[in-house]
Structure 1
Amino acid sequence: MSRTFHIRTATQADIPALRALMTDAIDRLQTGFLSPAEIAASHAIMGLDTQLIADGTYYIAETDDAERTLAGCGGWSRRATLFGGDHTAGRAPALLDPAQDAAPFRAMYTNPSLARQGIATLILAHSEAAARTAGFSRGTLAATLAGAPFYRRHGWGDEVPFQADAGEIAIPLIRMTKRLQ
Protein backbone atom coordinates (compact mmCIF):
# COMPACT_ATOMS: atom_id res chain seq x y z
CA MET A 1 0.00 0.00 0.00
CA SER A 2 1.39 3.38 -1.03
CA ARG A 3 1.07 6.20 1.48
CA THR A 4 0.46 9.82 0.66
CA PHE A 5 1.70 12.77 2.69
CA HIS A 6 0.71 16.38 3.12
CA ILE A 7 2.72 19.41 4.24
CA ARG A 8 1.73 21.98 6.82
CA THR A 9 3.53 24.76 8.67
CA ALA A 10 4.88 23.65 12.06
CA THR A 11 3.51 25.21 15.24
CA GLN A 12 4.76 25.53 18.80
CA ALA A 13 2.53 22.59 19.74
CA ASP A 14 4.62 20.36 17.44
CA ILE A 15 7.91 20.96 19.28
CA PRO A 16 7.94 17.82 21.49
CA ALA A 17 7.15 15.53 18.54
CA LEU A 18 9.72 17.29 16.33
CA ARG A 19 12.44 16.90 18.93
CA ALA A 20 11.67 13.18 19.31
CA LEU A 21 11.71 12.67 15.52
CA MET A 22 15.04 14.50 15.20
CA THR A 23 16.66 12.42 17.93
CA ASP A 24 15.49 9.20 16.30
CA ALA A 25 16.60 10.31 12.82
CA ILE A 26 20.05 11.40 14.01
CA ASP A 27 20.57 8.14 15.87
CA ARG A 28 19.29 5.82 13.15
CA LEU A 29 19.88 7.47 9.78
CA GLN A 30 23.51 8.49 10.33
CA THR A 31 24.56 4.87 10.91
CA GLY A 32 27.00 3.80 8.23
CA PHE A 33 28.16 7.38 7.66
CA LEU A 34 29.40 8.34 11.12
CA SER A 35 30.97 6.41 13.98
CA PRO A 36 28.85 5.78 17.10
CA ALA A 37 30.84 8.52 18.90
CA GLU A 38 30.20 10.97 16.04
CA ILE A 39 26.50 10.14 16.03
CA ALA A 40 26.28 10.78 19.78
CA ALA A 41 28.20 14.05 19.40
CA SER A 42 25.98 15.15 16.50
CA HIS A 43 23.22 15.98 18.96
CA ALA A 44 25.33 18.97 20.10
CA ILE A 45 25.20 20.58 16.64
CA MET A 46 21.89 19.28 15.25
CA GLY A 47 18.32 19.70 16.35
CA LEU A 48 15.35 22.02 16.37
CA ASP A 49 15.73 25.77 15.91
CA THR A 50 12.42 27.10 17.21
CA GLN A 51 13.10 30.44 15.48
CA LEU A 52 12.15 28.69 12.23
CA ILE A 53 8.75 27.83 13.71
CA ALA A 54 8.29 31.40 14.97
CA ASP A 55 9.19 32.71 11.50
CA GLY A 56 6.70 30.36 9.79
CA THR A 57 9.41 28.78 7.59
CA TYR A 58 9.43 25.28 9.08
CA TYR A 59 7.22 22.51 7.76
CA ILE A 60 5.94 19.12 8.76
CA ALA A 61 5.04 16.23 6.47
CA GLU A 62 2.32 13.98 7.87
CA THR A 63 0.68 10.85 6.59
CA ASP A 64 -2.67 11.46 4.91
CA ASP A 65 -4.55 9.04 7.13
CA ALA A 66 -6.45 9.16 10.41
CA GLU A 67 -3.25 8.77 12.46
CA ARG A 68 -1.50 11.80 10.91
CA THR A 69 1.89 10.23 11.63
CA LEU A 70 4.79 12.70 11.66
CA ALA A 71 6.75 11.62 8.58
CA GLY A 72 9.37 14.34 8.37
CA CYS A 73 10.22 17.98 8.81
CA GLY A 74 12.41 20.71 7.40
CA GLY A 75 12.43 24.24 6.16
CA TRP A 76 14.36 27.34 5.24
CA SER A 77 15.30 30.55 6.97
CA ARG A 78 15.45 34.29 6.48
CA ARG A 79 18.21 34.35 9.10
CA ALA A 80 21.98 33.90 8.89
CA THR A 81 22.28 30.69 10.97
CA LEU A 82 23.32 27.85 8.66
CA PHE A 83 22.65 24.86 10.93
CA GLY A 84 21.98 23.79 14.49
CA GLY A 85 19.30 23.83 17.12
CA ASP A 86 18.38 26.22 19.90
CA HIS A 87 21.23 24.77 21.97
CA THR A 88 23.95 25.09 19.28
CA ALA A 89 26.67 27.69 19.79
CA GLY A 90 27.34 30.32 17.13
CA ARG A 91 23.78 31.03 16.04
CA ALA A 92 23.35 34.20 13.95
CA PRO A 93 19.75 35.48 14.05
CA ALA A 94 20.37 38.49 11.76
CA LEU A 95 17.87 38.78 8.92
CA LEU A 96 19.21 38.13 5.42
CA ASP A 97 18.68 40.28 2.33
CA PRO A 98 17.03 38.16 -0.40
CA ALA A 99 18.60 40.37 -3.08
CA GLN A 100 22.12 39.54 -1.87
CA ASP A 101 22.07 36.51 0.40
CA ALA A 102 21.34 32.82 0.00
CA ALA A 103 18.50 31.38 2.09
CA PRO A 104 19.71 28.67 4.48
CA PHE A 105 17.79 25.39 4.19
CA ARG A 106 17.60 23.88 7.61
CA ALA A 107 16.88 20.90 9.82
CA MET A 108 15.63 18.34 7.30
CA TYR A 109 14.73 15.09 9.07
CA THR A 110 12.74 12.03 8.03
CA ASN A 111 11.03 9.54 10.31
CA PRO A 112 13.36 6.50 9.99
CA SER A 113 10.42 4.11 9.71
CA LEU A 114 9.17 6.07 6.67
CA ALA A 115 12.50 6.77 4.94
CA ARG A 116 12.79 6.54 1.16
CA GLN A 117 9.15 7.30 0.45
CA GLY A 118 9.57 10.79 -1.04
CA ILE A 119 9.01 12.71 2.19
CA ALA A 120 12.26 14.71 2.09
CA THR A 121 11.68 15.49 -1.60
CA LEU A 122 8.23 16.85 -0.78
CA ILE A 123 9.53 19.02 2.09
CA LEU A 124 12.53 20.29 0.10
CA ALA A 125 10.39 21.24 -2.91
CA HIS A 126 7.90 23.04 -0.63
CA SER A 127 10.74 24.87 1.14
CA GLU A 128 12.46 25.88 -2.11
CA ALA A 129 9.18 27.27 -3.48
CA ALA A 130 8.55 29.24 -0.28
CA ALA A 131 12.06 30.73 -0.31
CA ARG A 132 11.61 31.73 -3.99
CA THR A 133 8.29 33.37 -3.14
CA ALA A 134 10.08 35.34 -0.40
CA GLY A 135 12.50 36.67 -3.04
CA PHE A 136 15.52 34.42 -2.55
CA SER A 137 17.22 33.26 -5.75
CA ARG A 138 19.88 31.11 -4.06
CA GLY A 139 19.92 28.56 -1.27
CA THR A 140 22.64 27.14 0.94
CA LEU A 141 22.72 24.28 3.43
CA ALA A 142 24.99 22.16 5.59
CA ALA A 143 24.45 18.54 4.54
CA THR A 144 25.35 15.56 6.65
CA LEU A 145 27.27 12.78 4.93
CA ALA A 146 24.03 10.78 4.92
CA GLY A 147 22.05 13.65 3.39
CA ALA A 148 24.52 14.85 0.73
CA PRO A 149 23.56 12.22 -1.91
CA PHE A 150 19.90 13.26 -1.58
CA TYR A 151 20.73 16.94 -2.12
CA ARG A 152 22.96 16.15 -5.10
CA ARG A 153 20.02 14.33 -6.74
CA HIS A 154 17.97 17.51 -6.28
CA GLY A 155 20.42 19.88 -7.93
CA TRP A 156 22.47 21.05 -4.96
CA GLY A 157 26.21 21.33 -5.59
CA ASP A 158 29.27 23.57 -5.19
CA GLU A 159 30.31 21.34 -2.30
CA VAL A 160 32.64 22.59 0.41
CA PRO A 161 33.44 20.04 3.15
CA PHE A 162 33.90 21.40 6.66
CA GLN A 163 33.75 20.20 10.23
CA ALA A 164 31.44 21.37 12.99
CA ASP A 165 32.83 21.36 16.50
CA ALA A 166 30.75 19.10 18.75
CA GLY A 167 32.90 19.27 21.85
CA GLU A 168 35.84 16.91 21.58
CA ILE A 169 34.59 15.48 18.28
CA ALA A 170 34.36 17.21 14.90
CA ILE A 171 31.36 16.27 12.77
CA PRO A 172 31.92 16.25 8.98
CA LEU A 173 29.42 18.33 7.01
CA ILE A 174 29.23 19.58 3.44
CA ARG A 175 28.16 23.10 2.55
CA MET A 176 26.10 23.01 -0.65
CA THR A 177 24.36 25.65 -2.75
CA LYS A 178 21.66 25.85 -5.39
CA ARG A 179 20.11 28.50 -7.65
CA LEU A 180 16.43 28.61 -6.82
CA GLN A 181 15.28 30.44 -9.98
Structure 2
Amino acid sequence: MKYTIREAEESDIPAIRPLIEESVRILAADDYSQEQIRGALLSAWGVDTQLICDKTYFVVENGADLIGCGGWSYRATLFGNDSEGNRDSKLLNPQGDPAKIRAFFVKPSCARQGIGSMIMERCERAARERGFASLELMATLPGQRLYARHGFEPGEAIEYPLGSKLSIKFVPMRKELREQAG
Protein backbone atom coordinates (compact mmCIF):
# COMPACT_ATOMS: atom_id res chain seq x y z
CA MET A 1 0.00 0.00 0.00
CA LYS A 2 1.10 3.52 -0.71
CA TYR A 3 0.58 5.86 2.20
CA THR A 4 0.94 9.63 2.01
CA ILE A 5 2.11 11.94 4.78
CA ARG A 6 1.36 15.64 5.05
CA GLU A 7 1.15 18.43 7.60
CA ALA A 8 -2.00 18.24 9.68
CA GLU A 9 -4.52 21.02 9.28
CA GLU A 10 -7.16 22.31 11.66
CA SER A 11 -9.79 20.66 9.45
CA ASP A 12 -8.22 17.26 10.30
CA ILE A 13 -9.07 17.53 14.02
CA PRO A 14 -12.51 15.87 13.74
CA ALA A 15 -10.79 12.83 12.17
CA ILE A 16 -7.75 12.87 14.50
CA ARG A 17 -9.80 12.66 17.73
CA PRO A 18 -11.50 9.31 16.99
CA LEU A 19 -8.25 7.93 15.55
CA ILE A 20 -6.48 8.66 18.84
CA GLU A 21 -9.26 7.08 20.87
CA GLU A 22 -9.45 3.95 18.71
CA SER A 23 -5.66 3.62 18.69
CA VAL A 24 -5.23 3.71 22.46
CA ARG A 25 -8.33 1.70 23.31
CA ILE A 26 -7.07 -1.19 21.18
CA LEU A 27 -3.27 -0.90 20.93
CA ALA A 28 -2.71 0.02 24.60
CA ALA A 29 -5.17 -2.52 26.02
CA ASP A 30 -2.46 -5.09 26.78
CA ASP A 31 -0.42 -2.54 28.77
CA TYR A 32 -3.03 -0.40 30.54
CA SER A 33 -6.41 -0.97 32.19
CA GLN A 34 -9.54 0.46 30.58
CA GLU A 35 -9.80 2.85 33.54
CA GLN A 36 -6.26 4.13 32.89
CA ILE A 37 -7.02 4.51 29.18
CA ARG A 38 -10.20 6.51 29.92
CA GLY A 39 -8.31 8.75 32.34
CA ALA A 40 -5.39 9.32 29.97
CA LEU A 41 -7.73 10.21 27.10
CA LEU A 42 -8.91 13.12 29.24
CA SER A 43 -5.44 14.56 29.84
CA ALA A 44 -2.32 12.86 28.56
CA TRP A 45 -3.56 11.74 25.15
CA GLY A 46 -5.42 13.81 22.62
CA VAL A 47 -5.16 16.65 20.16
CA ASP A 48 -2.63 19.41 20.84
CA THR A 49 -3.65 22.19 18.48
CA GLN A 50 -0.36 24.04 19.14
CA LEU A 51 1.43 21.36 17.11
CA ILE A 52 -0.99 21.85 14.22
CA CYS A 53 -0.59 25.64 14.38
CA ASP A 54 3.21 25.24 14.44
CA LYS A 55 3.02 22.94 11.38
CA THR A 56 4.93 20.21 13.23
CA TYR A 57 2.12 17.63 13.34
CA PHE A 58 1.57 15.18 10.51
CA VAL A 59 -1.14 12.86 9.32
CA VAL A 60 -0.76 9.73 7.25
CA GLU A 61 -3.49 8.80 4.80
CA ASN A 62 -4.41 5.74 2.84
CA GLY A 63 -6.44 7.31 0.09
CA ALA A 64 -9.01 9.47 1.90
CA ASP A 65 -8.66 7.57 5.21
CA LEU A 66 -6.60 9.07 8.01
CA ILE A 67 -4.63 6.15 9.47
CA GLY A 68 -1.89 7.75 11.55
CA CYS A 69 -0.75 10.97 13.17
CA GLY A 70 2.20 12.26 15.12
CA GLY A 71 4.66 15.08 15.30
CA TRP A 72 7.44 16.93 16.98
CA SER A 73 7.76 20.25 18.75
CA TYR A 74 10.22 23.06 19.29
CA ARG A 75 8.27 24.07 22.43
CA ALA A 76 8.77 22.97 26.04
CA THR A 77 5.58 20.90 26.51
CA LEU A 78 6.58 17.23 26.49
CA PHE A 79 3.13 15.63 26.15
CA GLY A 80 -0.56 16.19 26.75
CA ASN A 81 -3.56 17.60 24.98
CA ASP A 82 -5.27 20.99 24.87
CA SER A 83 -7.03 20.38 28.20
CA GLU A 84 -3.80 20.04 30.20
CA GLY A 85 -3.17 22.93 32.56
CA ASN A 86 0.62 22.49 32.80
CA ARG A 87 1.41 23.37 29.20
CA ASP A 88 4.51 25.42 28.41
CA SER A 89 4.70 27.04 24.98
CA LYS A 90 8.19 28.43 25.62
CA LEU A 91 10.43 28.05 22.57
CA LEU A 92 13.32 25.63 22.96
CA ASN A 93 16.92 26.52 22.15
CA PRO A 94 18.22 24.04 19.55
CA GLN A 95 21.77 24.63 20.81
CA GLY A 96 21.07 22.88 24.11
CA ASP A 97 17.46 21.72 24.36
CA PRO A 98 16.12 18.53 22.80
CA ALA A 99 13.15 18.79 20.44
CA LYS A 100 10.08 16.88 21.59
CA ILE A 101 8.52 13.92 19.77
CA ARG A 102 4.78 14.12 20.33
CA ALA A 103 1.50 12.27 20.09
CA PHE A 104 1.98 9.31 17.74
CA PHE A 105 -1.18 7.27 17.09
CA VAL A 106 -1.96 4.66 14.42
CA LYS A 107 -5.21 3.08 13.37
CA PRO A 108 -5.11 -0.43 14.89
CA SER A 109 -5.88 -2.19 11.60
CA CYS A 110 -2.80 -0.46 10.13
CA ALA A 111 -0.41 -1.06 13.04
CA ARG A 112 3.06 -2.40 12.33
CA GLN A 113 2.99 -1.37 8.68
CA GLY A 114 5.63 1.37 8.89
CA ILE A 115 3.29 4.29 9.58
CA GLY A 116 4.92 5.27 12.88
CA SER A 117 8.35 4.98 11.25
CA MET A 118 7.23 7.19 8.36
CA ILE A 119 6.14 9.87 10.83
CA MET A 120 9.33 9.49 12.91
CA GLU A 121 11.57 9.94 9.88
CA ARG A 122 9.68 13.10 8.91
CA CYS A 123 9.94 14.46 12.47
CA GLU A 124 13.64 13.71 12.81
CA ARG A 125 14.40 15.37 9.49
CA ALA A 126 12.38 18.49 10.42
CA ALA A 127 13.97 18.76 13.89
CA ARG A 128 17.45 18.36 12.40
CA GLU A 129 16.70 21.04 9.78
CA ARG A 130 15.66 23.38 12.60
CA GLY A 131 19.06 22.81 14.24
CA PHE A 132 18.22 20.33 17.01
CA ALA A 133 20.86 17.75 17.93
CA SER A 134 18.70 15.60 20.18
CA LEU A 135 15.12 14.46 20.75
CA GLU A 136 13.14 13.46 23.80
CA LEU A 137 9.68 12.06 24.38
CA MET A 138 7.41 10.52 26.95
CA ALA A 139 6.53 7.04 25.71
CA THR A 140 3.53 4.90 26.45
CA LEU A 141 4.39 1.31 27.29
CA PRO A 142 3.35 0.06 23.81
CA GLY A 143 4.93 3.11 22.12
CA GLN A 144 8.37 2.55 23.63
CA ARG A 145 8.86 -0.43 21.33
CA LEU A 146 8.61 1.81 18.24
CA TYR A 147 10.86 4.45 19.74
CA ALA A 148 13.51 1.91 20.78
CA ARG A 149 13.63 0.65 17.17
CA HIS A 150 14.46 4.23 16.17
CA GLY A 151 17.37 4.50 18.59
CA PHE A 152 15.71 6.12 21.61
CA GLU A 153 17.13 5.14 24.99
CA PRO A 154 14.71 4.74 27.91
CA GLY A 155 14.99 6.52 31.22
CA GLU A 156 13.37 5.48 34.48
CA ALA A 157 9.61 4.93 34.17
CA ILE A 158 7.33 7.43 35.88
CA GLU A 159 3.80 7.21 37.25
CA TYR A 160 1.75 10.07 35.80
CA PRO A 161 -1.26 11.03 37.95
CA LEU A 162 -4.63 10.89 36.21
CA GLY A 163 -6.62 12.05 39.23
CA SER A 164 -8.90 10.16 41.58
CA LYS A 165 -6.03 7.98 42.90
CA LEU A 166 -5.32 6.71 39.37
CA SER A 167 -2.01 6.89 37.55
CA ILE A 168 -0.44 5.56 34.37
CA LYS A 169 3.13 4.47 33.65
CA PHE A 170 5.13 6.35 31.01
CA VAL A 171 8.78 6.02 30.00
CA PRO A 172 10.92 9.08 29.21
CA MET A 173 13.20 8.41 26.24
CA ARG A 174 15.98 10.35 24.51
CA LYS A 175 17.97 10.15 21.30
CA GLU A 176 20.95 12.01 19.92
CA LEU A 177 20.56 12.93 16.26
CA ARG A 178 23.43 12.08 14.00
CA GLU A 179 24.44 14.11 11.00
CA GLN A 180 22.92 12.88 7.76
CA ALA A 181 25.42 11.77 5.15
CA GLY A 182 25.39 14.05 2.13
Shorter chain as denominator, the TM-score bin is over 0.9
Q: 2:167 maps to what in 1?
A: 170
For residues 99-134 of structure 1, the C-alpha deviation after alignment (integer angstroms, 9 at most, x for no partner) is 110001000000112111110010011111111001
Q: 2:110 maps to what in 1?
A: 114
- 2:98 is equivalent to residue 102 of structure 1: yes
Q: Note if contact 1:49-1:84 (Cα within 8 Å) is conserved in structure 2.
A: yes
TM-score of the superposed pair, with normalisation by structure 2: 0.94
Gaps of 5+ in 1: none
Q: 1:138 maps to what in 2?
A: 134
Flag as ranges the 4+ runs of structure 1 deviating above 3 A: none
Alignment equivalent of 1:82, drawn from 74, 78, 89: 78
Q: 2:54 maps to what in 1?
A: 55
CA separation in 2, counterparts of 1:153 and 1:58? 21
CA separation in 2, counterparts of 1:125 and 1:81? 21
The CA deviation at 1:158 is 3.8
The CA deviation at 1:89 is 2.6
Question: What is the number of equivalent residue pairs in this alignment?
Answer: 176
CA separation in 2, counterparts of 1:49 and 1:161? 23
Q: Note if contact 2:154-2:171 (Cα within 8 Å) is conserved in structure 1.
A: no
Identity %: 41
Q: 2:13 maps to what in 1?
A: 15
State the Cα RMSD in Å.
Answer: 1.0
Amino acid at match of 1:172: K
TM-score of the superposed pair, with normalisation by structure 1: 0.94
For residues 12-45 of structure 1, the C-alpha deviation after alignment (integer angstroms, 9 at most, x for no partner) is 1111101111111121111110112111111122
Q: Note if contact 2:94-2:130 (Cα within 8 Å) is conserved in structure 1.
A: yes
The CA deviation at 1:84 is 0.4
CA separation in 1, counterparts of 2:60 and 2:160? 28
The CA deviation at 1:138 is 0.4
Gaps of 5+ in 2: none
